[in-house]
Structure 1
Amino acid sequence: MRKRLLFGNSTLLACALCFTPLTFADQGARLLATGGASTLEGSGGGGIVPWATLSSYAGEDQFGATINLSEVSVDDFRLSVQGASLSWSNRIEVSYAEQTFDLSTIGGELSQSILGAKVRVAGDLIYGDLPQISVGLQHKENNDYALPSAVGSQDDSSVDWYVSAAKAWLDGPFHRTWVANLTVRSSKANQLGLLGFGGDKENDRDWLAEASVAAFINRYWAVGVEYRQKPDNLSFAEEQDWKDVFVAYFPNKHVSVVGAYTDLGSIAGLDDQTGWYLSVQAAF
């Protein structure tokens, strides 16, 4: 049985930052909310969808860092996430997340570690006609593989690859700021990877679509929706697409808070898994 990492990679990252002379983000360099929030997998984005935007407010030749805590509670399950990220020059992002999945009804828990990287390759979120386009990867590894293996999973680790495009319109419909993001992902992860990768039903990669749209009510508050297509690899239980309706609050460039109503469909044979999501991120 693997010993859980317990946020160890993020601790090492924090220690490295303490002893390295870096120029950190000028909080006036980028517009409020362009640093976004943190996803359940650690990368910058919405709650369940990675965006083309990079975490923090780091401008050219600057470093930025974030730490985040997220909780998802649905009828029969609870997911807890601890994460951190480091970004440079609004160009490169490296992230880490540790997920713990509490099987409240059937007993026990699952966990996995996710190491991610994202690179902005073209465009800009606000300026110019071309949307901001980023490519990313997420290396996922189960910390305990006994249950995933028992239900038909074929591997305890894998890499998700994705391409994201995002654009903001400062004077969009109803004279509000709007942001849209589209992500295409190559994955064979079962329930984000918590139930392993590939299965007895299907063991090939799927190309999956993910999308987010948000409108700002004012400078500090935004409302939006997200949708995430999921693979269906295990014969013992159908895996369904995820969706949420969220409210995001950006009181300043150091803190963001996201709350959502989530519909995760059927999980491990238990249908209609709906509930709430809450994420808090601190940016430096």
Structure 2
Amino acid sequence: MYFSRNQLRKVPILEALHEFMKKANDNGSISRQEAVSMVPPLFLDVHPHHKVLDMCAAPGSKTFQLLEAVHGSTGAPAPAPLPVLADQPLLPTGFVVANDADYQRCQLLTHQLKRMCSPCLLVANHSAEFFPFVKSGPNQQQPLRFDRILCDVPCSGDGTMRKAPDIWRRWSVTSGNGLHIMQLRIAMHGCRMLQVGGLLVYSTCTFNPIEDEAVVSELLLRCGPALELPAKASLPLQRCMRFLPHHQDTGGFFVAVLRLVAELPSNLELPASQRP
């Protein structure tokens, strides 16, 4: 659909379509989202038995998509039989934890996700880089580890310049420098909470390499062989995956898929000899 928001509101012939979309959105039948924003959750390859963490979830469109995947049938076998409630359909064994650092945005997140009416959702309000470890059960000492983690981190947002032209007036070459450390801390903490064999998707809506490739490169350097960028031999790191606005008439996006293949080293700080 290539109608703008203003066209949907103001063009008389589109009035019925606009009313239908509003009602369908309110009852959870549809969720309005830019096409390119759907890409990071798709790369996570979520199945009904997965434990999923969305570290920077608000306003919730990607979380809604992750929750749909948990409730969906993907054909992947679950590790244990699904529980059956009396006169109720089968429930997935997986769940989604949706976190955001801002309390007001968490309220918006809750409002958006309650349309799903899912018992497999938990909304949390923590700074992503300090998200707490929790026990995997009442009598368990080991912390809960997630199968899939989405790090759609705060960024300078220059990939959305077509729909937000004010960004161009505020933009400078140093816009992303102050965000790099926070983005790296969020991604590093995500790696610590990831189950061995699990996937972490790092994504931004900026083209700034300081916020994109530099973060991924630092992750790989600190985690060593425990973390891999799948297919990095055939897809050079400096490219990862970029979605350019003029290719598909979308906003701009950067996406990297990382897999944890072994336990992380206890000390993730770089030795002085390796620091730039």
| Shared fold per TM-score greater than 0.5 | no
Greater helix share, structure number: 2
Structure 1 length as normaliser, TM-score? 0.32
Structure 2 length as normaliser, TM-score? 0.32
